[in-house]
């Protein structure tokens, strides 16, 4: 196979199919080793390598790492797991010619490219400039000499030499000052906004349109290293901007701005209990009525998690955990209702009963879902060992010093230490044989760390930890008894209460640490949804069973996991 050298445009390569849905890509993959590269619409045009391996169609998202512009080095690196490459062709060449696995968890090897039929609609570099997959007008094909709205009818037709314009010379709408050597005068800015939203309406906007992203402000006050502004190109029919390009949410961004304005406000008596887990959210991967453990949804989720590196999955879990705990994304109305700025303080107060129950249920359902990921592997023994390894790697990515999401770490470790999982002797033996490093990390690092956290003696410094381990304090405040002898229980009780008091006092520091971890992070909407409490509850028990009492639901699913465990490795 001919792979282009670094710096060449890969849009003309036979293995690149441009914007292509997951279903169409899977239909093109016929034999083991077949692969193609596509621009995923659900990920804003990011490249995804689709490959068939052992009869399954797998999808691997290629991470794009933005670097500070410097002479003589690329501004973007491409990465699958650990190694980074200066271009996507270099990455494909390395994995295909060297027959290297696309991921260690699956062992999938890409060997035969699936050539596309016909030209690509637009290059990947243009896809990444658009925030919405619904926008299909090619950006570089504009008629740059005529930027008035009347010239939009020529969209898709390029004049001579227009395609050779480098990306750095394309006009930007509302560019950050860090990308400009000198401030542009107001008149030049107005001229550069032609053919944008401002002249497609009766009245031009008062400032250049901005599309907010999930990049958080740097705590040090330095500007971000790259611009997150996304130009919006309406269609020639004049579709309103509100319908053609929805604005992405930035809940905690807005909440932090409001909080800064009200740091000196006086205390107001709380009016009601606050919930950070809306029960009736619609889910794009689940219908209004769904049965428990639908096979099609489980297959979609399995492919979704295989596409993402454990480090990126850990950031998704940190984001959802911070919102479920009330550390980020707290609105002014919620703060006024609960009387404190964050959920870390609310869960220590008497009127935090509802939040404590939500956090307990979240820990339990995530642990059950993690156990199901292992016990639901009815295939070869190596498949279950790979699932165990994936959970161990996710736990390592969540530990202090990494993502620092201790509630997420506790949920993953709860799945690994669940009796139905820990009794699988053959599976754990295969893990030690095939993935020795992960097995040693689990025994020597993760288990002692989790034991110390449960006893209130683990790390809790906001520099290492973005979200502290709240489960011991929540259980204690909800009246659960501490296990062990009386003298040890008293010491553990005092440590837990002191830790809860310190956690509430350091809530602003944890908020700052979590925002630093998530700075510049752009989550996958499907993966973010799949990690919410409501989605996991609907997935495990169905739309009807999700409303049953919590104790009955947990008891029923524990029996399901026991049956699955016995089928995999029956007692002798």
Phi first, then psi: what are they for 463, rounded to 5°?
-70, -40
Q: Does residue 351 contact residue 338 with C-beta atoms inside 8 Å?
A: yes
Per-residue pLDDT tens digits for 141-192:
333 434 343 343 334 443 333 333 343 333 344 334 333 334 444 344 334 4
CA–CA distance, 132 with 230 (Å, rounded to integer): 10
pLDDT digits (tens, 9 = 90+) for 370-425: 999 999 998 899 999 999 999 999 999 999 999 999 999 999 999 999 999 999 99
CB within 8 Å of 489: residues ≥ 6 apart: 481, 482, 483
Q: 526 and 384 in contact (C-beta within 8 Å)?
A: no
| Dist. CA 537–CA 545, nearest whole Å | 9
- CA-to-CA distance for 474 and 477, rounded, in angstroms? 5
pLDDT for 314: 96
- Residue-wise pLDDT for 29-76, tens only, equals 999 999 999 988 776 678 899 999 988 889 888 888 877 777 777 778
pLDDT at 264 over 60: no
Question: For the chain, which domains are there?
Answer: 10-126 (3.30.505.10), 254-261+272-568 (1.10.840.10)
Q: DSSP H helical segments within 112-230, as ranges?
A: 124-127, 186-192
Task: State the distance between the two ends of the chain, measured CA to CA, in whole angstroms.
Answer: 52
On whether the CB atoms of residues 306 and 530 are closer than 8 A, the answer is no
pTM of the model: 0.60
pLDDT score of 485: 66
């Amino acid at each position: 196979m001919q792979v282009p050298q670094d710096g060449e445009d890969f849009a003309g390569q036979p293995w690149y199919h441009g914007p292509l849905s997951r279903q169409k890509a899977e239909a093109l993959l016929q034999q083991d080793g077949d692969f193609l590269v596509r621009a995923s619409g659900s990920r804003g045009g990011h490249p995804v390598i689709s490959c068939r391996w052992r009869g399954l169609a797998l999808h691997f998202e290629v991470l794009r790492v933005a670097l500070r512009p410097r002479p003589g080095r690329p501004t973007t690196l491409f990465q699958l797991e650990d190694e980074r490459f200066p271009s996507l062709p270099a990455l494909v060449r390395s994995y295909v010619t060297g027959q290297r696995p696309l991921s260690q968890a699956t062992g999938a090897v890409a060997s035969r490219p699936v050539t596309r039929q016909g030209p690509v609609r637009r290059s990947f570099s243009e896809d990444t400039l658009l925030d919405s997959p619904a926008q299909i007008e090619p950006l570089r094909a504009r008629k740059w000499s005529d930027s008035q709205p009347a010239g939009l009818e020529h969209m898709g037709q390029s004049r001579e030499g227009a395609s050779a314009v480098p990306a750095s010379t394309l006009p930007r709408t509302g560019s950050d000052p860090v990308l400009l050597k000198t401030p542009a005068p107001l008149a030049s800015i107005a001229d550069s906004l032609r053919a944008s939203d401002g002249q497609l309406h009766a009245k031009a906007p008062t400032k250049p349109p901005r599309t907010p992203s999930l990049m958080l402000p740097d705590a040090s006050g330095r500007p971000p290293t790259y611009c997150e502004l996304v130009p919006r190109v309406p269609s020639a029919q004049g579709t309103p901007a509100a319908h053609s390009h929805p604005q992405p949410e930035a809940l905690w961004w807005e909440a932090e701005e409001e909080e800064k304005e009200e740091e000196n406000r006086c205390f107001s008596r709380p009016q009601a209990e606050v919930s950070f887990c809306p029960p009736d959210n619609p889910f794009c991967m689940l219908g209004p009525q769904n049965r428990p453990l639908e096979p099609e949804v489980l297959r979609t989720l399995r492919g979704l998690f295989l596409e993402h590196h454990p480090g990126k999955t850990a950031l998704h879990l940190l984001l959802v955990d911070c919102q479920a705990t009330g550390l980020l994304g707290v609105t002014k109305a919620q703060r006024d209702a609960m009387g404190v700025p964050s959920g870390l303080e609310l869960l220590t107060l008497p009127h935090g009963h509802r939040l404590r129950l939500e956090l307990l249920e979240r820990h339990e359902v995530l642990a059950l879902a993690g156990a199901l990921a292992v016990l639901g592997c009815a295939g070869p023994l190596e498949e279950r060992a790979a699932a165990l390894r994936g959970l161990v790697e996710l736990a390592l990515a969540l530990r202090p010093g990494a993502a620092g999401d201790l509630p997420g770490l506790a949920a993953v470790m709860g799945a690994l230490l669940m009796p139905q999982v820990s009794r699988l002797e053959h599976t754990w033996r295969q893990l030690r044989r095939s993935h020795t490093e992960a097995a040693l990390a689990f025994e020597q690092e993760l288990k002692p760390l989790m034991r110390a956290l449960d006893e209130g003696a683990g790390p809790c410094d906001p520099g290492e930890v973005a979200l502290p381990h709240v489960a011991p304090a929540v259980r204690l405040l909800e009246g659960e008894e501490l296990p062990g002898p009386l003298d040890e229980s008293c010491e553990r009780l005092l440590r837990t209460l002191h830790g809860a008091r310190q956690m509430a006092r350091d809530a602003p520091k944890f908020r700052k640490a979590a925002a630093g971890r998530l700075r510049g992070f752009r989550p996958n909407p499907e993966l973010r949804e799949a990690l919410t409490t409501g989605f996991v509850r609907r997935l495990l028990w169905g739309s009807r069973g999700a409303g049953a009492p919590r104790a009955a639901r947990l008891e029923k699913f524990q029996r399901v996991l026991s049956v699955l465990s016995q089928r995999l490795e029956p007692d002798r």
